[in-house]
Amino acid sequence: MKTKKTKLIALLLFMLWCISPLQSVCAQAKKDVGALAKASQNPVSSLVSIPFENNVNFDIGPNDDISNVLNIKPVYPVNINENWNWIHRAIIPALSYHENSLPGGDDIYGVGDITYQGFLTPAKPAKFIWGVGPVLAMPTGANDLTSNKWSGGPGFVALAMPGHWVIGGLLFNIWSMGGLGEAPDVNMMNFQYFITYNMKDGWYVKTAPTISANWEADGGDVWTVPLGGSFGRVFHIGKQPVNASIAGYYNVHKPEGASNKTLQFNVTFLLPK
């Protein structure tokens, strides 16, 4: 009997010894997922990422047409020295589709204008995070999907990450600098505020609408003001960390004929250094 008890105790001790490193790995993985979630929510973090953001826009124009825009938004940080980082960001409308239900009208397909954002930001962690740099919009889009103007201006980002929260905003204004003379001038402001609450196991809830103002438009067509939110999770597919989310936004104010609602799907591949 004693021999059996001794063997059982030894087996239990052996199992605990085998499981303990696995518990450590699991705890570390959860910790890493939480850290990755907050890093992926920081626009100027030192994290390489490749987001694929698909936007389905509803109720456009008098016939309630739809459009679909797939944006690829890579982020690549570069360490300048021990004090400063330069964050390269781009918005590439890789696939745009705009329905046209008017008689004789053709649907529109193609690539949109590419926007580059560069931010100079302190390399050392701090409670208050900020970045400043140029924004350049390039007329790379297909016909009917381009402004036909080169545009640029300053961009600013600021945020804080207390506890489970990530709170901040990104602001820029661009003006046309050249391009086709007959194309309308560009004077556009974008402000995206973001509020994220992170939960266990990489889950989070977030609101990050982009408020825009077209200063060249008339009266009530200047502002686009969406409200809404999203939920998502950072997880691993094999060894690859991924951030996936789904969001919905409703424009409480918009130019005449613009979309009322947007359904957004986002899958981001995270590439920690």
Looking at residue 14, its pLDDT comes to: 46
DSSP tag of 24 = H
Hey, which bits of the chain come out as E strands?
Answer: 48-60, 65-72, 75-79, 84-98, 108-110, 114-122, 128-138, 149-160, 165-179, 187-198, 203-207, 210-214, 223-237, 240-253, 261-271
Distance from the Cα of residue 173 to its chain's centroid: 18
User: Global pTM?
Assistant: 0.86
Looking at residue 225, its pLDDT comes to: 98
CB 190 within 8 A of CB 19: no
Structural domain boundaries enclosing 45 = 2-271
Give the integer Cα–Cα distance in Å for 263 and 37.
Answer: 22
Higher pLDDT, 19 or 248: 248
Most confident by average pLDDT, 8-17, 105-114, 179-188, 242-251: 242-251
pLDDT greater than 70 at residue 150: yes
Looking at residue 244, its pLDDT comes to: 98
Number of domains forming the structure of the chain: 1
Give the integer Cα–Cα distance in Å for 157 and 145.
Answer: 27
DSSP tag of 81 = S
Looking at residue 3, its pLDDT comes to: 56
Rounded to whole angstroms, what are the CA distances from 236 to 32, 131, 242, 246, 273?
10, 29, 6, 17, 16
pLDDT greater than 50 at residue 156: yes
The CATH number assigned to the domain holding 255 equals: 2.40.160.40
CB 186 within 8 A of CB 174: yes
Rounded to whole angstroms, what are the CA distances from 198 to 164, 170, 229?
5, 20, 14
Q: What is the mean pLDDT of residues 148-152?
A: 97
Q: What is the pLDDT of residues 3-62, one digit of tens each?
A: 544 544 554 554 444 433 433 333 334 447 889 999 999 999 999 999 999 999 999 998
Looking at residue 238, its pLDDT comes to: 93
Looking at residue 28, its pLDDT comes to: 39
Find the Cα–Cα–Cα–Cα dihedral 101, 106, 107, 110, rounded to 10°: -160
Residues facing 186 on adjacent strands: none
Amino acid present at 249? Y
Q: What is the pLDDT of residues 90-145, one digit of tens each?
A: 999 998 999 988 777 789 999 999 999 999 999 998 999 999 999 999 999 998 89
Place of tokens 């003379």: 181
Give the integer Cα–Cα distance in Å for 6 and 15.
Answer: 14
Amino acid present at 15? M
Rounded to whole angstroms, what are the CA distances from 11 to 6, 15, 19?
9, 6, 12
pLDDT greater than 60 at residue 256: yes
Looking at residue 9, its pLDDT comes to: 54
pLDDT greater than 80 at residue 197: yes
Sign of the CA dihedral running 151, 215, 184, 90: positive
pLDDT greater than 60 at residue 1: no
Residues facing 56 on adjacent strands: 68, 263
H or E element at residue 29: helix 2-40
Rounded to whole angstroms, what are the CA distances from 210 to 183, 228, 271?
25, 10, 26
Question: Which residue, 246, 198, 200, 255, is CA-closest to 226?
Answer: 255
Give the integer Cα–Cα distance in Å for 155 and 160.
Answer: 18
Residues facing 53 on adjacent strands: 71, 266
